[in-house]
Structure 1
C-alpha cells in the first residue's frame, strides 16, 4: 500500500507542464486585416488598448496548464523575438502581434526555458508585406508602462501619441497594458539613420495609469529590444539589447543604425 501511495505521489509531482495555442494554428493560412468591430477581444491578464496603426494585428491566444511550482514570467518566442508572458489565474493569455507574410513561428516557453508548445505557419496574405525594419520592445514588469520611440531619417517621430507615420512606418501594436509588446515596423524603409529610444513612462494597474514610484513590481525594470532587419529573408540580421530602467521618466538611446 505504501508503495502504491508513493508511486501516486511521484506521478502527481512529476506532472508535466504544457501549453495549448488556439491562435495562431500551424500550417498554411490566409488572414484578412484586423477586425475593427466595436467589441474588442478579451486579452489576459489585461485587455489590450488599440492605439497602434492596427494594420495586421493577430492575437496569440492560449493557456498554460499543469504549471505546478513554475512561476511567471513565462515567455513567448515569436519569430525568434522573446517576450515575457503573463497569464490570468487560469493560465490563459492573449497578446497582440503583427505578423508579416511568409514563414512565422510562435513558441511558448516555461519560466525555466523549457519549450511547452511550438507552431509554425505560412501567412499567404500578400497584404502583409514582410518587414524590412522591425523593432520589438518587451519588459519584465506587468505593472510598468514603457514606450518605444523611433526617429526616422526624415525626422519623423513614432511614439504613443503619433503611432502612424506618413512614410509608411508606425507602431503596431502599441502595448499599453504591460508588459508589451510594442513594435515598430517599416516594409519599405528609406535609407538613412534611425534612432531607437525606450522610455519608462509610468505605471499601470487595476486603477489605470499612475505615476506612483512604488506601484510597479520590480525595483529595476529590464527591457529587451530586438532589432530585426530584412526579416524572413536570406539577408536577415538581428541584434538584441538589454536595457535596465529605474525611475519614471528615464529616456535612453538604445541604438543608432543606418539602413
Structure 2
C-alpha cells in the first residue's frame, strides 16, 4: 500500500509532458498584396535535401516551420494545403520546408500530427489582382520519401507536361516539380482549353543520400501510395475536387489516373 501511495505521489509530481505543436514561419495569416514569393535564387532547406524545382512559373511559396514535442516520431505527418493533404516529413529537429504554388483568393495551410490531430492552421488571402485563379489544378503527393514519382498531364491540344517539358505554350505548366520526395508535384492551368485531359502518375525511380538511383530495394515502402487531387475552378463557388489513391509497386510503372473533360 505504501509503495502504491508513493507511486501515485510521484506520478502527481512528475512534470506534464508538452503537447505536440507546430510553428509556421511561412506563409503567415492575413491579407497579402505583394503576390507570391520568388524563392528561386535562394532555395530553403527541405528534407532531406534542398528542393530542386525545374518548374517555369516561378510562383511558389515555401511552406516552412517546425514540429515540437513529437518525441521520436518523424512522420509521416500531414500538411493540408487548401484541402489537399500531403505527407510531411521533418529533419531531426522537427523542421520542414516544402514548396507550393498558391493561387489568388483564400488559401489555407494546416499541419496535422501522424494521429490526425490539428497542430496549426493558417488562413490567408492572396489579394494580388494580377493573379488568376486556377481553373485546373492537379496535385500529386506520395508516402515514400526515398521514391521519386512524376506527374504527367496531356491537354486537349496534345501537349504533354512532365519533368522534362514543364512549360506548355497553351499556358499550362508543371510547377513545382518535386524531386526530393515526397512531393508535391503540381500542374496548374488558368486559361483552360475545352476538351479531354489525361492524368498519369509514373514511378520514375528512387532518391537517397547518393542522389537518384534505380535500385528496386532502395525505397522505403514495398508499395508506394500516391495521392492525386484534381481541383477544378479553385477558390470559386464552382470549385469541384476529386481524390485518387493509386498504389505503385515497380520502378517504371506508368498508370492512367483520370480522364476528364473540361
* Fold conserved between structures, TM > 0.5: yes
Distance (whole Å) between structure 1 residues aligned to residue 228 and residue 13 of structure 2: 45
Correspondent of 2:12 among 7, 12, 34: 7
Distance (whole Å) between structure 2 residues aligned to residue 133 and residue 7 of structure 1: 55
Distance (whole Å) between structure 2 residues aligned to residue 85 and residue 93 of structure 1: 8
Q: Could you tell me how far 1:32 is from its partner in structure 2?
A: 3.6
Equivalences, count: 257
Shifted more, 25-34 versus 177-186: the winner is 25-34
Query: Does residue 241 of structure 2 align to residue 238 of structure 1?
Result: yes
TM-score of the pair, normalised by structure 1: 0.95
Instruction: Answer whether contact 2:40 2:58 (CA < 8 A) is retained.
Output: no
Distance (whole Å) between structure 2 residues aligned to residue 240 and residue 97 of structure 1: 18
Q: Could you tell me how far 1:190 is from its partner in structure 2?
A: 0.6
Q: What secondary structure does 2:11 align onto?
A: helix
Distance (whole Å) between structure 2 residues aligned to residue 178 and residue 109 of structure 1: 19
The residue aligned with 1:255 is: 258
Q: Could you tell me how far 1:34 is from its partner in structure 2?
A: 4.4
Instruction: Answer whether contact 1:48 1:177 (CA < 8 A) is retained.
Output: yes
Give CA-to-partner distance per residue, 1:26-65, whole Å, 9 cap, x none: 1111234543664322223321002012331000010000
The residue aligned with 1:51 is: 54
Correspondent of 2:148 among 145, 150, 154: 145
Instruction: Answer whether contact 1:21 1:62 (CA < 8 A) is retained.
Output: yes
Q: Which consecutive residues of structure 1, in runs of 5 or more, have no partner in the other structure?
A: none
In terms of Rg, which structure is larger? 2
Q: What secondary structure does 1:56 align onto?
A: coil
TM-score of the pair, normalised by structure 2: 0.94
The residue aligned with 2:3 is: none
Distance (whole Å) between structure 2 residues aligned to residue 167 and residue 82 of structure 1: 28
Give CA-to-partner distance per residue, 1:170-209, whole Å, 9 cap, x none: 0010000000000000001010000000000000001000
Shifted more, 25-34 versus 176-185: the winner is 25-34
